[in-house]
Amino acid sequence: MSILTEIVENLIVGDDEKVSALTQKAIDDGVLPKQILDDGLIAGMNTIGQQFKNHEIFLPDVLMAARAMYAGMDKLRPLLLKEGIPSPGKVVLGTVRGDLHDIGKNLVGIMLKGAGFEVIDLGNDVSPEKFIQTAREHDAAVIGMSALLTTTMSAMKEVTYQLKEEGLAGRIKVIVGGAPVSAEFAVEIGADAHGYDAANAVERVKSLISEN
Amino acid sequence: MPQCSGRRLAGRTATAGGGCATQQSRGVPAPESRCYTLHSRGRLCYTVIMIELLTFSTDDLRPSRDQVLQNQGIPAGVAVPAEIDALCSNAIDLMLEIAAPAGVLLEISKPDFATVYQGQGQNEASTPVGDIFPRAENLALFAATLGQGVSREIKNLFESNDLALAAMFDSAASAAADRLGELAEIRFAEFLDQNGRNTPETCVLRYSPGYCGWHISGQKKLFEFLHPEQIGLTLRDSSLMEPLKSVSGVIIVGPKEIHSFPMSYPFCSQCETRGCRERIRMLSAD
């Protein structure tokens, strides 16, 4: 079994200590950091994402795998930075103002990181201004917003409106999601995409970034 | 969804997990409680209203395994690996160890509640609460919190990348916060019982700003009346409560029928949670 396969298998079962040790061993053995990232950590998270989508595993399984991925990333990150290997893109993520529900948003963030994206997670109760200001500061390609309540989802429209007002619409893409949020609502408020679950959100973000 | 489980006043029995709103029934000091007798044009009206600081035993707050797992998107009764069961159990124990629950309950008249409900004028034109409360027999505002320590621990666990425990702890805290609302309902029901202000068919349900067309900004007026600062609860500019793991709202007491409403409000078509259906179903099952 190759060391990259071992990383994948240990990541899937959430063994963070082994993933950390195996990532270090792969580095020491001269495996390219990008290859460890793509064929080890990201490959493992892709499998986890697929299993979760198919209802074969539960949220805690995903989170244990994510912790293992982070353990591997801690070893890889300095090398990726040193070699100037860019992430596929930056995504600013948050639950909208007035809403504290963030399990779905956290999962999207984890799956995006698992796909190699750089995620700036603003947490919950995020104002429209904060979304836009952070996206500007970090030169993010995408803003992702989540809401669980019908009474708070209207805050999403403020972001798309302000982006348009500031001439940023199209340059900073917007994806929305959450229980009451539909594809129709996304179109209605001028968002660029709707993610109906975490795996779908990752696919949609990939599409949005490839359009840029 | 509205934050509630249905319960009747008369003949009501303790609910699973304890059912005592205060520590009074456990042989410990009663909560701080004040009652007032209303006067009208110099005549005694014999209507006793109450304000009460609620204390809770952490045992009363213990959420069930199924409640916590459901908050993780795992349907009740589904078999999970032993590792997840252990994680759930650890998260519940840790949460109860850290929780410092407190609450406040204030009876309120219909005219005063109309002012609270009006809030900042941002509610939907027609809402369940707007239609229900005018037909209520009794109303009370409530707020309760698990305390700042719980929110701090969630943040710490996420920051230390203990993601699975962090999320499970968060789910356990959400279930316990919901339980605080139930306990406030029970306490108000007890108060009405003790003062002979119930009828056999009376039901008690709670509703919260942020749900079912009652705009989250309604919290501001609710806080002006209730003053939950005395239990350490404050409002952010966004109207979310600080600490986050807290609940607030109005407890509406009245005939079962008033709580039953169709999903025909304009915002219902966007709602995916549909928790109101479960509440109404529970009322019907009583």
Residues of A in Cβ contact (< 8 Å) with B89:
none
For chain B, what percentages of helix, strand and coil (3-state, to nearest 5) are there?
Answer: 45, 20, 35
Tokens in use for A143?
Answer: 């803003």
Q: Give domain A90-211's CATH number out of 3.40.50.1370, 3.40.50.280, 3.50.50.60, 3.40.50.620.
A: 3.40.50.280
Question: B67: helix, coil or strand?
Answer: helix
pLDDT at B16: 28
For A98, which of B74, B163, B239 is closest by C-beta distance? B239
- List the CATH code of the domain at B7-285: 3.40.109.40
Query: Residue A61 and residue A78: Cα distance in Å, rounded?
Result: 27
Q: What is the pTM of this model?
A: 0.84
Residue B102 contacts residue B56 (beta carbons within 8 Å): yes
pLDDT at A191: 97
For residue A60, give the nearest of B170, B273, B93 by alpha carbon.
B170
Contact criterion met (CB < 8 Å) for A151 and B84: no
Residues of B in Cβ contact (< 8 Å) with A98:
210, 216-217, 238-240
Contact criterion met (CB < 8 Å) for A180 and B171: no
Residue-wise pLDDT tens digits, A168-203: 999 999 999 998 899 999 999 999 999 988 889 999
Domain ranges of chain A: 3-82, 90-211
Residues of chain A with pLDDT under 50: none
Q: Which residues pair with B49 in a beta bridge?
A: B36
- List the CATH code of the domain at A3-82: 1.10.1240.10
The upper half-sphere exposure of residue A94, i.e. CA atoms within 13 Å in the direction of its Cβ, equals: 25
Query: Residue B220 and residue B226: Cα distance in Å, rounded?
Result: 10
Query: Residue B33 and residue B285: Cα distance in Å, rounded?
Result: 33
Residues of B in Cβ contact (< 8 Å) with A45:
none
pLDDT at B171: 95
Query: Residue B55 and residue B101: Cα distance in Å, rounded?
Result: 7
pLDDT at B266: 87
Residue A172 contacts residue A143 (beta carbons within 8 Å): yes
Chain B within 8 Å of A156 (Cβ-Cβ)? no
| Alpha-carbon gap: B15 to the closest alpha carbon of chain A (Å) | 27
| Alpha-carbon gap: B177 to the closest alpha carbon of chain A (Å) | 13
pLDDT at A43: 95
| Alpha-carbon gap: A178 to the closest alpha carbon of chain B (Å) | 9
Which residues of B sit within 8 Å Cβ distance of A?
Answer: 71-74, 80-81, 83-84, 87, 158, 161-164, 166-168, 170-171, 210-211, 213-217, 236, 238-240, 244, 267, 270-273
DSSP sequence for A12-37 = HTT-HHHHHHHHHHHHHTT--HHHHI
Query: Residue B160 and residue A51: Cα distance in Å, rounded?
Result: 25
Instruction: Name residues 103-122 of chain A within 8 A of B (Cβ).
Output: 103, 106, 110
Q: Which helix (H) or strand (E) holds B144?
A: strand B138-145
Tell me what ipTM this predicted complex has: 0.84
Angle B31-B33-B35 from CA coordinates, rounded to 5°: 160
pLDDT at B30: 41
pLDDT at B1: 42
Tens of pLDDT along chain B (286 residues) come to: 443 334 444 333 222 222 222 222 333 334 445 555 544 454 544 455 788 899 999 889 999 999 999 999 899 888 999 999 999 999 999 999 999 999 999 999 999 999 999 998 999 999 999 999 999 999 999 999 999 999 999 999 998 989 999 999 999 999 999 999 999 999 999 999 988 888 777 899 999 999 899 999 999 999 999 999 999 999 999 899 999 999 999 999 999 899 988 888 988 887 777 778 888 888 777 6
Question: Which of A111, A131, A149, A184 should be substituted to probe chain B, the one whose Cβ sees the most B Cβ atoms within 10 Å?
Answer: A149
Chain B within 8 Å of A157 (Cβ-Cβ)? no
Q: CA-nearest residue of chain B to A110?
A: B163
Contact criterion met (CB < 8 Å) for B213 and A148: no
Contact criterion met (CB < 8 Å) for A153 and B270: yes
Contact criterion met (CB < 8 Å) for B161 and A124: no
Q: Do A3-82 and A90-211 have matching folds?
A: no
Contact criterion met (CB < 8 Å) for B161 and A67: yes
Residue A104 contacts residue A144 (beta carbons within 8 Å): no
pLDDT at B268: 87
Helix axes A3-12, A59-82, angle to 10 degrees: 140
Contact criterion met (CB < 8 Å) for B272 and A58: no
Contact criterion met (CB < 8 Å) for A110 and B163: yes
| Omega within 30 of 0 (cis) for the link into B243 | yes
State the count of interchain CB pairs (< 8 A) between A and B: 86
Domain ranges of chain B: 7-285
Question: B247: helix, coil or strand?
Answer: strand
Query: Residue B48 and residue B164: Cα distance in Å, rounded?
Result: 48
Q: How far is CA A21 from CA A17, A63, A110, in A?
A: 6, 19, 21
For B72, which of A60, A70, A150 is closest by C-beta distance? A60
| Alpha-carbon gap: A58 to the closest alpha carbon of chain B (Å) | 7
Q: How far is CA B269 from CA A71, B127, B263, B266, in A?
A: 43, 13, 8, 6
Phi-psi region of A121 (alpha: psi -120 to 50; beta: other; left: phi over 0): beta
Residue B207 contacts residue B4 (beta carbons within 8 Å): yes
Chain B within 8 Å of A154 (Cβ-Cβ)? no
For A60, which of B168, B213, B244 is closest by C-beta distance? B168
